[in-house]
C-alpha cells in the first residue's frame, strides 16, 4: 500500500478506496487529535473498517509517544512496513 507524505501528515493507506461504499468515509481523531484515521463501510461485508491513517508530522517531529506508538500499531495490525517513515523522521524502535 502506498505511503504519501503531505504538508501535515504521513498518509498510510491500508485498504484500497474502491473496496468501500462511495461517500461512506468518516475521519476520526486519534489521541490528542494530531493523528487521524479515515474509515468507511466495506462493500463486501457492510462493516466499518479503516482505509487510511493520517499520522501527524508534528507528532513525529516532536517524538510524541502516542504518535510513535501508532506507527508500531499500524505495522502490527495491517502488516505495513513503515521503516521508510522512521528513517525520514529519525525515529528508532
Instruction: Count Cβ atoms below 10 Å from residue 14 Cβ, excluding itself.
Output: 17
Q: Is residue 90 part of a domain?
A: no
Q: Which pLDDT belongs to residue 1? A: 73
Q: Is residue 91 part of a domain?
A: no
Whole-number Å distance between alpha carbons of 14 and 32: 22
Q: Is residue 93 part of a domain?
A: no
41 by Cβ neighbours in 10 Å (0-12 / 13-18 / 19+) ranks as: middle
For residue 55, give its domain range.
3-85
User: Cell match 498518509: residue?
Assistant: 11
pLDDT band at 31 (very low <50, low <70, confident <90, very high): confident
**Predicted structure pTM score:** 0.91
Q: How many domains does the chain have?
A: 1
Q: Which pLDDT belongs to residue 2? A: 85
pLDDT band at 93 (very low <50, low <70, confident <90, very high): low
Q: Considering the chain, what percentage of its residues have pLDDT values greater than 70?
A: 98
Q: Which pLDDT belongs to residue 43? A: 98
Q: Is residue 61 part of a domain?
A: yes
Q: Is residue 92 part of a domain?
A: no
Amino acid at each position: 500500500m502506498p505511503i504519501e507524505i503531505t504538508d501535515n501528515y504521513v498518509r498510510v493507506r491500508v485498504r484500497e478506496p474502491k473496496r468501500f461504499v462511495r461517500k461512506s468515509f468518516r475521519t476520526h481523531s486519534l489521541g490528542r487529535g494530531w493523528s487521524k484515521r479515515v474509515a468507511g463501510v466495506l462493500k463486501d461485508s457492510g462493516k466499518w473498517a479503516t482505509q487510511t491513517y493520517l499520522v501527524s508530522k508534528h507528532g513525529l517531529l516532536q517524538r510524541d509517544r502516542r504518535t510513535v506508538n501508532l506507527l508500531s500499531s499500524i505495522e502490527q495490525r495491517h502488516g505495513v512496513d513503515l521503516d521508510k517513515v522512521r528513517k525520514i523522521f529519525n525515529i528508532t524502535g
